[in-house]
Chains A and B, each alone.
Chain A
Amino acid sequence: GAVVSQHPSRVICKSGTSVKIECRSLDFQATTMFWYRQFPKQSLMLMATSNEGSKATYEQGVEKDKFLINHASLTLSTLTVTSAHPEDSSFYICSARTSWTTYEQYFGPGTRLTVT
C-alpha cells in the first residue's frame, strides 16, 4: 500500500512554455502533499507544502507565481512550472502523508524536467 505516482516521469519543454506535473496517491487519501526539487548530485529541497482544499505554503525563496501548486482533491496535487527557463530544469519529487501515518511520508518516483 501507500503508493504515490507522478506523471510524467520525464518531460522536455521549450523555454517560455508551461508544464504541469501530477502527483497522485493511488491507494490512500493524502491530507498533505509536498513538492521537492533536486538538482543533479544535490540534495532534495522542499519547495512547498499543500493541504487539500487550501493554498500551498511555499518555502522561502520559492516563487509562488512561477511554481503553481494545486491540491484539488485528497488524491491529486499538481505542480505547474510557468514560463519555464533552462534554470528550472531539475528533478521534481512529490511526497504525500495521510492522517494515519505517524511519521511516514511516501515519495513519488519523480519527474525529470528539461527546459531547452
Chain B
Amino acid sequence: AQKITQTQPGMFVQEKEAVTLDCTYDTSDQSYGLFWYKQPSSGEMIFLIYQGSYDEQNATEGRYSLNFQKARKSANLVISASQLGDSAMYFCAMREGEDFNKFYFGSGTKLNVKP
C-alpha cells in the first residue's frame, strides 16, 4: 500500500487565489511527522511546513498552512494568495516513527499559477 498518496498530478490556480493540494497517508505508527516540500524546475527540495502527529493545532508558515485531519489521515497543504513563483512540484512526505530512514514521499502535484 502507498504510504503517501497525492491524487492531483496537476493543478491550476489563478494568481492571488488560494489553492489546496491534497495528501493522504497510511501508517499504523502513533508517532509520525508530515512534511510538504516544494521542488522548482531547478530541482532543489525546499521545506515548506511540518506537522507532528501529536500537534493539536494545524501548522502554519506564512502563506502555507497544513490542514491536518488525523482521523481521515489527511494532511492537505493550503497556499493562500498564490504567486507566480509558487509554480512548482509539491511533494507531501511522511516520517514514520522517529526514524528518518522511514521517510516516504508522495508522487507530487505540479502546480501552475496563472497570471
Contact = CB atoms under 8 A, between A and B. Distances in A.
* SS of A interface (majority): strand
Given A91-B43, A104-B47, A43 B100 contact: no
B103 A43 contact: no
Interface size class of B (residues with CB under 8 A): 20 to 34
A21 interface: no
A45 B52 CA distance: 22
* SS of B interface (majority): strand
B107 A42 contact: yes
Given A103-B52, A105-B100, A43 B45 contact: no
Contacts of A105: 100, 103
Interface residues of A, number: 22
Given A43-B91, A44-B91, A49-B101, A107 B50 contact: no
Contacts of B104: 46
Nearest to B107: A43
